[in-house]
Amino acid sequence: MNNRDNNTSASTIVIIGGVAGGASAATRARRINEHANIILLEKDGYVSFANCGLPYYIGGEIQQREKLLVAKPELLINRYNIDVRVHNKATAIDKLNKQITVENTQTGETYTLPYNQLILSPGARPIVPPIPGIETENVYTLRNVEDTDRIKSFLDLNPNIKHITVVGAGFIGLEMVEQLHNLNIAVTLIELQPQVLPLLDPDFAIMLEDELTQNNIDVLTGDGLQTINPDEQNKIASVTLNSGKTIDTDMVLLGIGVAPNNELATDANIPIGDRGGIKTNLKHQTADPAIYAVGDVAEYVYKPTNQTMRVPLAGPANRAGRIAGTYAASYNPDNEKRYTPHDAHKLDMSPVLGTSAVRVFSLTAAMTGLSLKMARNTDQNIASVTVTANHHVGYYPGATPITLKLVYNADTGLILGAQAIGKNAVDKRIDVIATLMHMNGTVHDLIGLDLVYAPPFGAAKDIVHQAGFAATNQLNNIVNVIQPDEISSEMQILDVRTDSEHAANQIPSSLHIPLDDLRNRIDELNADITYAVICGSGLRSYIATRILTQRGIENVHNVSGGMTSWLRHQKAAKPQQATV
């Protein structure tokens, strides 16, 4: 008998579900309370594994399967003295009597388990559409180690696979497309939305789509899976899309999204939020203060809108698990009171931003907070700038461009979101902006950041600074900035690029005056006309607007992102007319 068994006042903490949220809650609870009885239930066979690493194991970048297992049951048992029960599925919660019903999925045995504190971390499940043929063999989802083993086994046992169809161009879909391509398998990527990675703005998503097609991925956006067509052995022969197109394929991987496993909470009358996740407070308590919810099943406060929503990412899940574990372990069953940790309010869950990144062959796309299309659906006065700059100084070898879009409140300058795409150090820039957003930073704060500068790493005027410069110039009425899709028919487009640039591609009906000739040709312009000034990336057109406004041509707007962004907007809106 151990010391915990001798402690009559020991609290029993039951945690339903492992992985990021549940395992973090369990280990944190033990570090806070050495005497608590901590029981961790996991319906599958692996209690803590790296979800985000699964595609890379399938593709061979991670070669050892063991690397995926973050914390094995033996570690949790021996180091943390946690009662780990894999293949044990909670089937019901009795709030009145503070107990749950559990089924051993291997033996079929059921039993009741009492608790003082209960933490729900059952996660989410892949969405599987109810379409004809969905039960056909070789249709897979990817959510856990068991899914990974099935897919890996299929690929290993069938080395002559010719084609795989990936449905859904979110994070999992894009990662799997890259990994399957690396296995020399032809891939078709299908996305019901009109763009890949729908979280991005269309002009950024088109960069990823171009990268996919340049790597021989067949990308079909604006189309969905209608039927899966089996052969005589009930194996996939082909798929038919909503458009009527039929694709011969050997396997289908569904990456449509996830739905929260909220049934336990629903059956126990624990309130569910508008987005399907369990409602919690900042301590991650549900309406029942003895029950917590964390991870993909819970809703979080989303900072840019101050509304609650599900954010199925590992970072928030880990933080929420740590918070719930802290408070659950501070409970004293003897007097039904809770020990309050020092500065307890500082432990509460901070609003989340959805900061994330994905690699698509040579490109990295990263984002935090609201995209411009999302921000335009809020009731805030929205502004945005797009800038392009090298990830380190151009004179140092290996410099590659990053394109960054900053979204902010046009009244206050509060940063609401950012997205960036490039080959190198993209995540670093988004992490900087996300940190500033966490501290309620504005675009004015961006320009004062003291960031690393050395030729191999950055520039004295980093792209983060440049985004701040562009945004503050707009807020300070130094320049009017518009996005390419805000150019109206009443505006005259003024192209200030060089003659050679203008000859290579041009906007119909645009007026061309190179920047270096602008002062000498300003008499060709009409002060009564509104001009949309455009260059390659937005810098020269900014200089042009400053010349014009100080010389009597005041109705001018700088087209953010320049011709590069305009072309991307055009291509995203009308792919068949991508070339000017």
Q: Where are the alpha helices (DSSP H) in 284-418?
A: 314-329, 372-375
User: CA-CA distance, 400 to 397, in Å (whole number)?
Assistant: 9
User: CA-CA distance, 445 to 154, in Å (whole number)?
Assistant: 52
Per-residue pLDDT for 579 more than 60?
no
Structure tokens, 318? 């880990």
Q: What is the pTM of this model?
A: 0.93
Residues of the chain with CATH 3.50.50.60: 3-123+260-347, 139-256, 362-475
- Note whether 401 and 437 are within 8 A (CB): no
Structure tokens, 173? 């879909």
- Three-state SS for 113-127 is EECCEEEECCCEEEC
Identify the band that residue 150 occupies on the pLDDT scale cut at 50, 70 and 90: very high
Q: How many CB atoms lie within 10 A of CB 211?
A: 21
Of 70-74, 111-115, 358-362, 485-489, least confident by mean pLDDT is: 70-74
Per-residue pLDDT for 574 more than 90?
no
With CA atoms as reference, report the closest residue to 299 among 371, 349, 368: 349
pLDDT in tens, 498-524: 999 999 999 999 999 999 999 999 999
DSSP letters of 20-40? HHHHHHHHHHHHH-TTSEEEE
The yes/no answer on whether domain 481-577 falls in CATH 3.30.499.10 is no
Q: Compute the mean pLDDT over every residue in the chain, rounded to the nearest whole number.
A: 93
pLDDT in tens, 154-183: 999 999 999 999 999 999 999 999 999 999
Pairing of strands 117-120, 12-16: parallel
- Note whether 49 and 145 are within 8 A (CB): yes
CA angle 310, 312, 318 (to 5 degrees): 110
Looking up tokens 């028919």 gives 489
Beta bridge partners of 42: 86
Residues of the chain with CATH 3.40.250.10: 481-577
Name, in order, each residue with C-beta under 8 angstroms of 437's C-beta and a sequence gap of 6 or more: 303, 304, 353, 368, 369, 415, 416, 417
Per-residue pLDDT for 320 more than 60?
yes
- Note whether 498 and 514 are within 8 A (CB): yes
The pLDDT assigned to 10 comes to 79
DSSP letters of 473-516? HHHTTS--EE-GGG--TTSEEEE-S-HHHHHH---TT-EE--GG
Residues belonging to the active site: 52
DSSP letters of 124-174? EEE-----TTTTSBTEEE-SSHHHHHHHHHHHHH-TT--EEEEE--SHHHH
Can you say whether residue 81 is alpha, beta or left, with left for phi > 0 and alpha for psi between -120 and 50 degrees? left
| 3-state SS, residue 241 | strand
CB-based burial of residue 111 (10 Å sphere; 0-12 exposed, 13-18 middle, 19+ buried)?
exposed
What average pLDDT does range 386-405 have in this prediction?
97
CB-based burial of residue 63 (10 Å sphere; 0-12 exposed, 13-18 middle, 19+ buried)?
exposed
- Note whether 495 and 512 are within 8 A (CB): yes
Identify the band that residue 577 occupies on the pLDDT scale cut at 50, 70 and 90: very low
The pLDDT assigned to 3 comes to 39
With CA atoms as reference, report the closest residue to 512 among 476, 480, 544, 469: 544
Per-residue pLDDT for 539 more than 80?
yes
What is the number of alpha carbons within 13 Å of residue 493 lying toward its C-beta? 22
The pLDDT assigned to 131 comes to 96
How many residues are given for the chain?
580
The pLDDT assigned to 333 comes to 66
At residue 14, φ and ψ (nearest 5 deg) are -110, 130
Identify the band that residue 525 occupies on the pLDDT scale cut at 50, 70 and 90: very high
Structure tokens, 226? 């209608």
What average pLDDT does range 450-478 have in this prediction?
96
User: CA-CA distance, 479 to 518, in Å (whole number)?
Assistant: 17
Beta bridge partners of 533: 494, 558
Domain 362-475: assigned CATH number = 3.50.50.60
pLDDT in tens, 39-58: 999 999 999 888 899 999 99
Percent share of the chain, pLDDT over 90:
91
- Note whether 455 and 462 are within 8 A (CB): no
The secondary element (H helix, E strand) that includes residue 178 is: helix 171-182
The secondary element (H helix, E strand) that includes residue 434 is: helix 426-438
User: CA-CA distance, 530 to 554, in Å (whole number)?
Assistant: 8
CATH architecture under which domain 3-123+260-347 falls? 3-Layer(bba) Sandwich (3.50)
What is the number of alpha carbons within 13 Å of residue 460 lying toward its C-beta? 1
The pLDDT assigned to 355 comes to 98
With CA atoms as reference, report the closest residue to 50 among 63, 67, 64: 67
Q: Class for domain 139-256, per CATH?
A: alpha beta
Whole-number Cα distances in Å, 343 to 82, 294, 337, 346, 347: 27, 22, 17, 6, 7
The pLDDT assigned to 340 comes to 56
The pLDDT assigned to 69 comes to 87
The pLDDT assigned to 207 comes to 98
Structure tokens, 125? 């499940």
What average pLDDT does range 408-437 have in this prediction?
98
| 3-state SS, residue 404 | strand
